[in-house]
């Protein structure tokens, strides 16, 4: 492979020695589940992400289930979710006992369509919604989503698994959410040493409930206010993430530069490809390069890139409604935009530590694949 799609070793190398020393302290102090470093990480993240309450947890999927439970979402309730996203939001709704309703994407920002969501509410009377901030930015109409949900009493959960470091209206995107979640899966922007995640809110009552739900619904050691879950973070991951906090701004800056490189390169080839990026009002985090070929399918482009030694991904090659467990799910339309996009999308290598030369090789390979006629 001339350029890997992702290379995590470049983010690990700068912290390896500090992490090894910290992990040996974890063993000495048997700081295995929870503990002072988890609490320290939470305080650091509250400051960094401009939220009042950050509760660290086991992963971004548990974070979603707990966020739904914390807002009282359960059986008999209908929850809107975009048809184009990772599978976890759909799973979380089903695991919470509620009913998912699939909503199409806006073909320009690739996020859940506000117009279709608002029209869908007239038919389905949504009780809740999971708005997913996908690909390193969010909906161009985020404030309309927030206002509409507040007016219509729709419980809005913002899935920010992919949006660590994204700014909306010059603030952390998590700052304006009733409740938001994040994932520290290693390939995410703020990736951990194993699975991890978090739940954020500005509301102390919700925060307290979330903290209890992540720890078996505990009120005391053997007393329980809720039927919760074991979604706790361990000390090893917390130590790793605390060390990563020193580096994260530089890593995000590197991602943004790589993303800008691809955007500029690709703008010279408007007949062959389209580049998707942040709508106005956002500063993205460079999580993914999101492109579509105009004369080839995503699978054809991926095969051509791999042939040239360029790693790539297709996020996402199939939408939720095409997955067997969701084929009969309720939906607000034929979901045409998401289905069409998924057939053409391609992602070039983009990770913290990627070099300009690697971006150049990847972009040129993409251009050559697209300009080769079948
Ligand atoms: C949009 C989205 N939501 C939720 C998740 C689930 O996070 P995790 O893998 O930490 O459970 C992910 C990623 O993995 C994701 O991309």
User: pLDDT at position 327, please?
Assistant: 96
Task: Answer yes or no: is pLDDT of 374 > 80.
Answer: no
Query: Using 50, 70 and 90 to split pLDDT, how confident is the model at 293?
Result: confident
Pick from 19, 64, 95: nearest CA to 162: 64
Res. 360 pLDDT band, cuts 50 70 90: very high
**The pLDDT of residue 63 is above 80:** yes
Give the pLDDT score at 321.
Answer: 98
- Between CA 42 and CA 56 the distance in angstroms is 6
Ligand 1: which of 58, 59, 61 to mutate, most ligand atoms within 8 Å of CB? 61
Q: Ligand 1, closest atom to CA 184?
A: 10
Q: Hey, which of 185, 192, 195, 229 would you mutate to test ligand 1's pocket, going by the most ligand atoms within 8 Å of its Cβ? A: 185
Question: For a substitution probing ligand 1, which of 56, 64, 83, 86 has the most ligand atoms within 8 Å of its CB?
Answer: 86
% of the chain surpassing 90 pLDDT:
97
Contact call for residues 213 and 74 (beta carbons, < 8 A): no
Name the residue with tokens 């992490």.
19
Count, in order, helices (H) and strands (E) of the chain. 13, 14
**pLDDT tens sequence across 114-169:** 999 999 999 999 999 999 999 999 999 999 999 999 999 999 999 999 999 999 99
Residue nearest to atom 7 of ligand 1 (CA): 60
Whether the predicted pLDDT of 373 surpasses 80: no
CA R_g for the chain: 21
Whether the predicted pLDDT of 194 surpasses 80? yes
Determine how many CB atoms are found less than 10 A away from the CB of residue 126: 24
For ligand 1, atom 12, the nearest C-alpha belongs to: 161
Residue 272, pLDDT score: 87
In the structure, what pLDDT confidence band is assigned to residue 237 with cuts at 50, 70 and 90? very high
Residues with CB under 6 A from ligand 1: 59-61, 85-86, 88-89, 132, 159, 161-162, 183, 185, 195, 197
Q: Which atom of ligand 1 is nearest to the CA of 197?
A: 10
Helices marked H in the chain — which ranges?
Answer: 9-12, 16-29, 36-49, 60-70, 88-95, 114-124, 142-152, 204-213, 235-245, 248-266, 298-307, 336-344, 356-371
For the cut 80, the answer to whether the pLDDT of residue 26 exceeds it is yes
Within 8 A by CB and 6+ apart from 198, the residues are 42, 45, 54, 55, 56, 57, 63, 181, 182, 184
| pTM exceeds 0.85 for this model | yes
Ligand 1 centroid–CA 162 distance in Å is: 8
Ligand 1 centroid–CA 159 distance in Å is 8
- Mean pLDDT over 3-22 rounds to 97
Residue 171 pLDDT: 98
Q: What is the mean pLDDT of residues 344-367?
A: 97
Cβ 93 vs Cβ 100: under 8 Å = yes
Q: Residue 132 CA: which ligand 1 atom is closest?
A: 1
Domains of the chain: 9-245 (3.40.640.10), 248-371 (3.90.1150.10)
pLDDT at 320 over 80: yes
pLDDT tens for 173-190 read: 999 999 999 999 999 999
């Amino acid at each position: 492979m001339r350029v890997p799609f992702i290379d995590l070793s470049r983010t690990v190398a700068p912290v390896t020695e500090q992490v090894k020393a910290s992990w040996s302290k974890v063993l000495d102090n048997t700081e295995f589940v929870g503990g002072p470093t988890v609490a320290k990480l939470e305080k650091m993240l509250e400051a960094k992400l401009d939220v009042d309450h950050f509760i660290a947890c086991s992963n971004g999927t548990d974070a979603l289930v707990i966020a739904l439970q914390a807002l009282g979402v359960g059986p008999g309730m209908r929850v809107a979710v975009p048809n184009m996203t990772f599978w976890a939001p759909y799973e979380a709704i089903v695991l919470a006992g509620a009913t998912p309703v699939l909503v199409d994407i806006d073909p320009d920002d690739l996020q859940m369509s506000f117009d279709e969501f608002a029209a869908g509410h007239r038919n389905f009377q949504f009780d809740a919604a999971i708005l997913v901030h996908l690909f390193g930015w969010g909906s161009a109409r985020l404030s309309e989503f927030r206002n509409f949900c507040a007016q219509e009493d729709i419980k809005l959960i913002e899935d920010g698994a992919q949006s660590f470091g994204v700014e909306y209206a010059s603030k952390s995107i998590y700052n304006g959410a009733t409740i938001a979640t994040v994932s520290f899966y290693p390939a995410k922007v703020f990736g951990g040493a194993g699975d991890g995640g978090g739940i954020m809110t500005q509301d102390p009552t919700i925060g307290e409930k979330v903290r209890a739900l992540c720890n078996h619904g505990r009120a005391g050691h053997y007393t329980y206010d809720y039927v919760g879950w074991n979604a706790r973070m361990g000390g090893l991951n917390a130590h790793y993430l605390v060390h990563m906090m020193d580096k994260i701004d530089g890593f995000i800056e590197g991602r943004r530069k790589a993303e800008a490189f691809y955007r500029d390169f690709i703008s010279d080839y408007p007949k062959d490809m389209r580049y998707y990026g942040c709508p106005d009002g956002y500063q993205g985090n460079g999580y993914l390069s999101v492109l579509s070929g105009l004369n080839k399918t995503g699978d054809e482009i991926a095969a051509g890139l791999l042939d040239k030694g360029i790693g790539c991904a297709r996020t996402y090659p199939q939408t939720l409604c095409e997955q067997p467990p969701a084929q009969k799910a309720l939906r607000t339309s034929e979901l045409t935009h998401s289905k069409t996009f998924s057939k053409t999308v391609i992602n070039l290598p983009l990770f913290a530590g990627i070099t300009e030369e690697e971006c150049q090789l990847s972009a040129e390979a993409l251009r050559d694949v697209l300009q080769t006629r079948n």
